């Protein structure tokens, strides 16, 4: 079974974020990067399916040249090879434009299963996976907590609201967006890190894929949330003041 896992490079969670001088994005010169955490869970699920069913896991990443570090991390954890769509300004691509790039890269691969994270930690659109499924013309399911291979397809467990779950049987090929926490993430071993240096990374560009770059998003202003304090004196008798306080906690602060 050929499994393609879509991964994204995002700033690491302990990075100190500073807005750039133009106020249009964050300063990226001094940032460290890592695999988007939801995508890391998708990668782990792909690796476990490969260990049970055989086949190969291919990591697909769209990003700048510096994303090679993130790709090597996926290879070190067990992916067999990788596809790297090198584009420098993907933050200006909306999910549809990005999905078109990825769909073009997957045309020749013909995967049995495509896995993505539920959303990205930086922009958090949560749309790229389902749009990619539509462009590939394959069935999809979202918020997946479990995947079981069956004769002629797969059976998945979807997380719904209020503790409810849904079990769905699907044919292959298919696309799944994986919920964070589905498995325990593995660490790259020393042997895995050494092997990653010799694994194939195929570099592609939008021009080679026949997709015209589309800068479809423009950030007008990025700013940190403003913090403010406000003191209000509640007049009246203690019982009356307490009633006013409860009302404000319920309907203004929304903590009750």
Q: Which pair of tokens denotes residue 247?
A: 């009302």
Residue 46: its H or E element: helix 37-53
- For the stretch 170-214, pLDDT in tens is 999 999 999 999 899 999 999 999 999 999 999 998 888 888 767
Tell which CATH classification among 3.10.450.50, 3.40.50.620, 1.20.120.640, 3.40.640.10 matches the domain 2-209.
Answer: 3.40.50.620
CA dist., res. 43 & res. 49, Å (int): 10
- For the stretch 39-94, pLDDT in tens is 999 999 999 999 999 999 999 999 899 899 999 999 999 999 999 999 887 777 88
pTM: 0.83
113 DSSP assignment:
E
74 DSSP assignment:
H
Residues 155-169: b if buried by 16+ CB within 10 A, e if exposed:
ebbbbeeeeeeeeee
* Choice between 154 and 13, residue whose per-residue pLDDT is larger: 154
């Amino acid at each position: 079974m050929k499994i393609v896992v879509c991964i994204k490079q995002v700033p690491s969670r302990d990075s100190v974020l500073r807005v750039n001088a133009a106020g249009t994005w964050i300063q990226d010169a001094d940032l460290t990067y890592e695999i988007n955490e939801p995508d890391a869970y998708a990668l782990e699920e792909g690796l476990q399916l490969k260990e049970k069913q055989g086949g190969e896991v291919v990591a697909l990443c769209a990003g700048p040249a510096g994303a090679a570090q993130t790709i090597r991390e996926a290879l070190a954890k067990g992916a067999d090879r990788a596809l790297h769509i090198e584009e420098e300004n993907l933050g200006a691509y909306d999910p549809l434009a990005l999905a078109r790039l990825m769909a073009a890269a997957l045309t020749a691969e013909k995967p049995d299963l495509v896995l993505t994270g539920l959303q990205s930690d930086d922009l958090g659109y949560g749309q790229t996976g389902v749009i990619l499924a539509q462009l590939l013309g394959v069935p999809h399911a979202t918020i997946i907590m479990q995947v079981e291979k069956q004769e002629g397809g797969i059976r998945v467990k979807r997380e719904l609201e209020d503790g409810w779950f849904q079990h769905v049987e699907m044919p292959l090929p298919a696309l799944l967006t994986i919920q964070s926490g589905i498995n325990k993430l593995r660490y790259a071993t020393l042997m895995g890190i050494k092997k990653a240096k010799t694994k194939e990374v195929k570099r592609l560009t939008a021009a080679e894929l026949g997709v015209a770059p589309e800068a479809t998003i423009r950030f007008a202003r990025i700013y940190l949330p403003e913090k403010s304090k406000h003191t209000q004196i509640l007049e009246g008798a203690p019982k009356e003041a307490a009633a006013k306080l409860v009302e404000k906690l319920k309907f203004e602060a929304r903590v009750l």
